[in-house]
Structure 1
């Protein structure tokens, strides 16, 4: 059974990630630039890991949860409940951001709103194939780092927040001009629902590609970080020859 506190952390964490990080793009993008936006994504994730990591693992990303499931650290029922909380949190965070953005005179919300895109909606005009591959690769980086620094079933300690936040910031720096750097289906769905139009029509890619990247990261992690065999001292001792002979009489 999933603890209610864990689901609350996943909901609240995804809400705050979308509101603060996507909000940096929507509300302050022209002032802080692409580097500032990437730092906003990385820093808010660092803060969330330090706050929620010990409770829920601070996945706040369906791709991370899928990676944890594929790595054998989560049960299917837990993963589904995490996904539900994360998508709900992403939509709630986007709704809160939408309300705030509407209070800024002259700020355009429809069409963009921090959503992801390819083709004419990409800053560099990347096509659908390039967008899919980029999202897979960048999500692979983030999920692989999460798996490498996490402990136990799915927990992240406070110290793990730094490499995870750095990986997320790098993904934003590289992917920002390409697709807006989703790397997180919940982060993409929420803003797309409020942007509408082409953003909503293209959001399928930013749900599917990160999930593929998360699953591939789990497979790679099994190869690079194999589960060690139990120490010989913990293995069941072999019976003495006399005892074996006595059993066969």
Structure 2
């Protein structure tokens, strides 16, 4: 598959993840009387991954997340030379989705993106008021386990065809655990996509949602590669 098509798949997959997941948080989570709440947002993020993994996973591998790309590289599943192009495509796809969400959201009189706009935060900007240290630990553990699930579900010994379901359900579970903590990142592209449209504290705190998920992704990839994977 050409690199252009692979990057296009990553662009559209990340766009859909941000548009579907963050869009559900912005528009539907607290809609009066009919809001989907945390559980609905968690399911929406999982569904974005399931649907796009089946739609374009056969083209690009279905990463849609810089932490996944780096973690798969650390796990020996992805070429190092392709890491940066993938990350660029993911970030651009996420930012375009964030821009579309902003245009839709500001179509409602009185909407203020600085209130949250599905942005990730810690401390005073954590949904539940969790400290920086607690948020870092949550993002590290959850991203590492996400990569362990991804490696295991796509192992050649795993049941064929069920990888996207396992990965999507894992992302749903991750959100069920951590929406109150950080609003759930485990994905630097997702965090970047809305931070710049939120425009204030989200940009200032974005460093953590790059650093920790990337470290967690590498950790998960290394754990699976050296402690869990069975090689011929």
Bin of the TM-score, shorter chain as denominator length: over 0.9
SS in 1 for 2:47: helix
Query: Which residue is 1:228 aligned to?
Result: 231
Q: Partners of 1:56 and 1:23 in 2: how far apart?
A: 24
Contact 1:140 1:216 in 2 (8 A): yes
Separation in 2, partners of 1:174, 1:23: 19
Shift of 1:151: 4.4
Residue 223 of structure 1: how far off its partner (Å): 2.8
1:179 is matched with: 182
Cα distance change, pair 39–226 in 1 and its aligned pair in 2 (3 A): closer
Structure 1 residue 36, shift from structure 2 partner: 0.5
Q: Is the 8 A contact 2:67 2:187 kept in 1?
A: yes
Deviations 1:35-73 (A, max 9, x none): 111010111111111111111110000000001111122
Corresponding residue number in structure 1 for 2:24: 24
In structure 2, C-alpha distance between the alignment counterparts of 1:191 and 1:159, rounded to whole Å: 30
Structure 2 matches for 1:40-189, cutoff 5 A? 40-151=44-155, 158-189=161-192
Question: What's the TM-score, normalizing by structure 2?
Answer: 0.93
Superposed CA offset, 1:198-239 (max 9, x none):
11100110111100110110111013333423xxxxxxxxxx
Are the counterparts in 2 of residues 111 and 196 from structure 1 also a CA contact under 8 Å? no
- Residues 67-122 of structure 1: CA distance to partner in whole angstroms, max 9, x if unpaired? 11111222222111100100111111101111111112333212411000011111
CA distance in 2 between partners of 1:106 and 1:38 (Å): 27
- CA deviation digits over 1:9-44, x for unaligned, max 9? 000110111011100001111011001110101111
Mapped partners of 2:2, 2:67: distance in 1: 19
> Displacement, 1:158?
4.5
Task: Please name the residue that 1:243 is paired with.
Answer: none
**Shift of residue 189, structure 1, vs aligned partner:** 0.6
Q: May I ask how many residue pairs the two structures share in their alignment?
A: 226
Q: Which residue of 2 aligns with 1:236?
A: none
CA distance in 2, matches of 1:90, 1:164: 19
- Contact residue 76 and residue 225 of structure 2 kept, 8 A: no
Identify unmatched segments of 5+ residues in structure 2.
none
How far apart are residue 140 of structure 1 and its match? 1.1
2:40 is equivalent to residue 9 of structure 1: no
Once residues 212 and 63 of structure 1 are traced to their aligned partners in structure 2, the CA distance between those partners, rounded to angstroms, is 8
Distance in 2, matches of 1:113 and 1:4, equals 31
Q: Which runs of 5+ in 1 are unaligned?
A: 230-249
Q: Distance between the aligned counterparts of 1:104 and 1:23, measured in 2?
A: 14
